[in-house]
Chain A
Amino acid sequence: MEVTAIKAGIVIDHIAAGKGLLIFNKLNLAALGYPVVLLMNVSSQRMGKKDIIKIENFTAVDTAMLGLIDPNLTVNVIENCGVARKVCVTTPAIVKGLFACKNPRCVANADPDVSPTFHLHDEKTRSYVCEYCEELTRVN
Chain B
Amino acid sequence: MQLKGRHLISPNDLTLDEIDAILRLAHDMRQNRRAYADSCRGSILGTLFYEPSTRTKLSFESAMLRLGGQVLGFADANTSAVAKGESIADTIRVLDGYADVVVMRHPKEGAPKLAARYARVPVINGGDGGHQHPTQTLTDLLTIDTYKGRLHGLRVAFCGDLKFGRTVHSLIETLARYPESKFFLVSPEELVLPERLKQHLGRSFSCEMIECRRLEEALPYVDVLYMTRIQRERFFNEADYQRLKNSYILDAGKMREAQSDMIVMHPLPRVNEIAYEVDKDDRAVYFPQAELGVYVRMSLILHLLGVN
Contacts and interface: CB of A to CB of B under 8 A. Distances in A.
A107 B111 CA distance: 6
A132 B87 contact: no
A27 B102 CA distance: 41
Given A132-B113, A133-B131, A134-B131, A113 B108 contact: no
A105 B236 CA distance: 11
Nearest to B195: A136
Contacts of A104: 236
A66 interface: no
A97 B131 CA distance: 22
Contacts of B114: 107, 111, 113-114, 132
Given A133-B129, A133-B131, A134-B196, A105 B87 contact: no
A106 B196 contact: no
Nearest to B169: A134
B13 to A, nearest CB: 13
A123 interface: no
B88 A105 contact: no
A130 B196 CA distance: 11
Interface in A112-140: 112-114, 121, 129-136
A75 interface: no
Contact of B110 (A113, A132, A136): A132
A129 B200 CA distance: 11
Contacts of B130: 105
Interface in B255-292: none
B88 to A, nearest CB: 5
Contacts of A77: none
A107 B113 CA distance: 10
A135 B194 contact: yes
Contacts, number: 58
A39 B18 CA distance: 59
Given A131-B110, A133-B109, A105 B89 contact: no
A41 interface: no
A103 B87 contact: no
Contacts of B106: 107
A3 interface: no
A110 B194 CA distance: 21
Given A121-B196, A135-B194, A130 B110 contact: yes
A104 B234 CA distance: 11
Contacts of A53: none
B303 to A, nearest CB: 25
A68 to B, nearest CB: 19
Nearest to A117: B110
Contacts of B111: 107, 111, 132
Interface string B104-139: 001111110110000000000000111100000000
10 contacts: A107-B109, A107-B113, A108-B110, A111-B88, A121-B196, A130-B110, A131-B110, A132-B109, A132-B111, A135-B109
Given A107-B113, A130-B110, A132-B111, 16 more contacts: A103-B109, A106-B110, A107-B111, A108-B110, A112-B87, A113-B87, A113-B89, A114-B114, A129-B196, A131-B110, A131-B113, A132-B110, A132-B114, A134-B131, A135-B109, A136-B195
